[in-house]
Amino acid sequence: MMVTEATPQWRGELFYDEPMAAHSSWRSGGPARRYYQPADIDDLCDFLRGLDRNEPLLWLGLGSNLLVRDGGFPGTVIASFGALSTFEWLDDNTLRAASGVTCSKVARLTARAGLVGVEFLAGIPGTMGGALAMNAGAFGGETWTHVVAVETLDHEGQLRTRYPSEYRIGYRSVTGPQDEWFVAAHLRLEHGDAAAAQERIRELLAQRGATQPTQQSSCGSVFRNPPGDYAARLIEAAGLKGASIGGAQVSEKHANFIINTGNASAADIEALIEQVRDRVQQEHGIVLETEVRIVGDKAAV
């Protein structure tokens, strides 16, 4: 059961032993020692200033692309969705989207405004914070192609504006200043046909629904595509479609998705990830790298 703590200096809500299965798109995972829902960015800055410098932090959007082990997370989870969800135009083709804004909302609002280039975000089931952290992409597009600046927050509650030149950007990879987290993106787009952009989004969503298990609990793509190939093709060629451990199963619809069939533990999912990686390496000589972030402690035996 959740227990909350109210303090004079914080306007958000602090929960103890919060079950992360309730905040993960995989619907599995143990409790976070502490879970904070800030009221706004100023409140979050105040909260961070009051934390011990060594407190482990986990920033959470919609809980996609994340596996929290069954032993839980031994630190504080910062829930950005809701509080950090502002969206504003900086000029006629540049927008500022806070880290808790969903990728799909960015795609819809920009298309409606006749700004094109990020329609692909409609197919990413997460928030802009996660999209920035991993250079999320789909259908040939990538997030950082359109980034002109980012806003970050560090462990001491210090806000900064940084630029793409301060980061090393790669395929599903972003490396930059340590111990800073993204709190907003500034995206610059091209003017285009609003109707065509909205139709493109409808087409992408239809394609996603036809090829991915969107109605089942998953994290999205589990593995990065290796150079010149596709993780899904390698997994399927290794005969792993439908393979399962406990309640975790490799999707019959898309081999690079692992679904929770109803009662999967985080341990089931992690074991299946390792089984897939091992089999693909044995069959193809390729070591698949995970897109999903795995955090926390394993359950005590």
CA distance 280 to 301: 29
The token pair at 73 is: 């997370």
SS3 sequence, 82-125?
CCCCCEEEEECCEEEEECCCEHHHHHHHHHHCCEECCHHHHHCC
Helix, strand or coil, per DSSP, at residue 244: strand
Strand pairing of 173-175 and 248-250?
unpaired
Judging by beta carbons within 10 Å of its beta carbon (0-12, 13-18, 19+), is residue 185 exposed, middle or buried?
buried
CA-CA distances (angstroms) from residue 172 to 1, 123, 163? 36, 15, 18
- Contact predicate 133/124, CB 8 Å: no
Residues labelled as active-site residues:
172, 221, 291
